[in-house]
Amino acid sequence: MNNYPDINASEYNSSKTTREVAHEMWDIVDQAVPTSKFLDACDEDRKFLASCSGRLENVVRPRLIK
């Protein structure tokens, strides 16, 4: 059993714009995974990728210079 709100497709067959529907859908997603947690995870990924990039550069650059 989940705590996510049910999405009734008939609600989205109305005259709502795509933007309005997208905002509503994002609100539902935000309830499941708060944006702050998502952004924190992205920041951790960015830091990890930056550290990998630095290590890779330290290995590759000396070989290119030879």
- The answer to the question of residue 1 being in a domain is no
pLDDT reading at 61 higher than 70: no
Structure token digits, residue 45: 């990924």
pLDDT of residue 17: 79
Domain count, the chain: 1
pLDDT of residue 52: 72
Residue 52: give the domain boundaries.
34-66
- The answer to the question of residue 25 being in a domain is no
pLDDT tens-digit readout, 8-60 = 555 555 677 778 888 888 787 777 766 677 777 777 877 877 777 666 666 66
- The answer to the question of residue 27 being in a domain is no
- The answer to the question of residue 8 being in a domain is no
- The answer to the question of residue 43 being in a domain is yes
- The answer to the question of residue 28 being in a domain is no
Q: Would you say the pTM of this structure is higher than 0.75?
A: no
pLDDT of residue 62: 65
**DSSP code for 5:** P
Structure token digits, residue 49: 């990728």
- The answer to the question of residue 29 being in a domain is no
Q: How far apart are CA 41 and CA 34, in angstroms?
A: 11
- The answer to the question of residue 2 being in a domain is no
